[in-house]
Structure 1
Amino acid sequence: MKKFLIYIAKISVVTVLIAFLLDGLYTYIFRHSNNRGKIEKVFNSKAQKYDVVFLGSSRANNHFVAQMFEDKGLKAFNYGMSGGHLFEASLMLKLMIERKYEIKNVILEADLNLSNEHQAEGISARFLPYIHNSEVIKDHFSNEADFNELYYIPFYRYIKYDGKIGFRETFFITIDKKTNALDNLGYYPLVKHKNGNMKNNIVNLNPLKHNKYYEEIKNLCKTHNINFIAVMTPICENTTGMNYFEKVKKVYPEIHNYENVVIEDKYFSSCGHMNDTGAKIFTARILKDFFNK
């Protein structure tokens, strides 16, 4: 029995040591990545200066054409993340501030995601390689139910989110395989699809009266003298429950409603996402209304 317990103890020690070694190796690899995604780009970058930064979900990623701002002499980048929520948008801004970014204007896509305070695990997982190297990332996750496991158990986060930050991703980083996430200054243009879904139902959505992460973004901008512009972006006209945007306006009167600026189906790839042509029409309107460009 004694020999068996000693054997189990040795196996346990070896397992823990391997976990620490793999955790250190994976983290080292992620800390030397800057061409796979937007989170890595910010974490591993030096301080940047921007006239305009875009934040939000895919409805930011696919709707704000950053190059049109650059063409008008405004340094801009689209940090919208497809699939992301305000949880990730807030953390992205915190990370930029931690990295000493100088930002004059933040344009936040704030509409459908005002209805929840959830993290989008597929996106938030990409912050986790840096949880021991960034106080803002650590603090942002500190109230999550699995924080202790993520923070204190070596290699746990890489196992749990293997599909996002596991072996495949570390391998691609190692061979310097790029993605298109950073192309077009972060803007991802969509095309018109013949079979694109041009119907949507948002009847059951209701904006929270106090969305924690929206308020964080707004307060961060105020504290750091960043001009905060929150907008609702266009959605196709065949959407049931369009009064959602009126509800948002009542709760958050400072948010500018642009949901009906572009409405024709020919300008959409799907009901909730404009194609490149629609995005350019929308971006031109934003430039005109807020920057006199």
Structure 2
Amino acid sequence: MDAKPKDILTLLKLTKFYNIKSDSIFVQTDYYYNSTDKSNFLYLDMLPYIQENSIIKSYYYDEKDYLFLVYFPFYKYLKNSSKLGMRDLLAALFRKNKFDTTIGYEPLYGNGNTWQRILPTSVLNNEINKETLQFMKTNGMNYVFFTAPFRRDTKNLNFVSQLRNHYPVFWDFSTSITESNLFKNGYHLNHTGAKEFSIIFSNKIKD
């Protein structure tokens, strides 16, 4: 999933709110470091629960139609009818969950896609990232930030080395897989590449 800093901070706060325990938290960070926006997937996934608690509400504070989203029950469904519509809701109730057997993993197959990732040229000051680090420290969370592999033709790859200076614990896997045939496109590993990266990642944890 393409989680952005605001998504990560919100999800961390929710783990604390719901008393979800973990030994360690691994957070992927990359070209979204500079972002202050929301991801489309979390915006939609949490929207039905906007009145659940203040953490979820705060995620939507900067939306121009915030009051409508919170206080007009059907507005959020009308606005996002293609994703949150009644037809989709009913279909989801009877559709087999594809993640039941894959534990959230959805493989990509093939290679040779010419889509190329271009990273930012510099790391910007982002208060959301600072708040995230402070929140984790305050709550005694054991965390690791990491960057996943990029294909060799990625532009501005030195951006990753700049990220290293902004995290107390940072694992750089950006160049850990060099074979282009293990990538679906410029940034996404295919199924074979994902299996190889899983071995690399697990070995790092064991170290």
Q: Which of 78, 85, 96 lines up with 1:159 in the alignment?
A: 78
Query: Deviation per CA, 1:171-198, whole angstroms, max 9, x where unpaired?
Result: 12333x133245422222222235x225
Q: Which of 96, 104, 118 lines up with 1:178 in the alignment?
A: 96
Q: In the alignment, residue 185 of structure 1 is paired with which amino acid? A: I
Query: Deviation per CA, 1:236-262, whole angstroms, max 9, x where unpaired?
Result: 001121122122223446322210011
Structure 1 residues 210 and 115 mapped into 2: Cα distance closer, same or farther (>3 Å)?
A: closer
Pair 1:279 & 2:198 matched: no
Bigger Cα Rg: 1
**Cα distance in structure 1, aligned partners of 2:35 and 2:178:** 25
Q: Which of 106, 127, 143 lines up with 2:62 in the alignment?
A: 143
8 Å Cα contact 1:200/1:240 also seen in 2 = yes
Query: Deviation per CA, 1:101-130, whole angstroms, max 9, x where unpaired?
Result: 111111000111102110123431210101
RMSD: 2.2
* Structure 2 residue ranges without an equivalent (≥5): none
8 Å Cα contact 1:115/1:208 also seen in 2 = yes
Structure 1 residues 289 and 174 mapped into 2: Cα distance closer, same or farther (>3 Å)?
A: closer
Greater share of strand:
1
2:204 counterpart residue number: 289
**Cα distance in structure 2, aligned partners of 1:104 and 1:290:** 12
Q: What is the aligned length?
A: 207
Structure 1 residues 151 and 206 mapped into 2: Cα distance closer, same or farther (>3 Å)?
A: farther
Q: Secondary structure at the match of 1:236?
A: coil
2:180 counterpart residue number: 265
Structure 1 residues 252 and 192 mapped into 2: Cα distance closer, same or farther (>3 Å)?
A: same
**Cα distance in structure 2, aligned partners of 1:276 and 1:114:** 26
What is the percentage of aligned positions where both structures have the same residue?
22
**Cα distance in structure 1, aligned partners of 2:122 and 2:86:** 39
* Structure 1 residue ranges without an equivalent (≥5): 1-81
1:19 counterpart residue number: none
**Cα distance in structure 2, aligned partners of 1:114 and 1:211:** 11
Q: Which of 121, 127, 135 lines up with 2:40 in the alignment?
A: 121
Q: Which of 117, 120, 124 lines up with 1:200 in the alignment?
A: 117
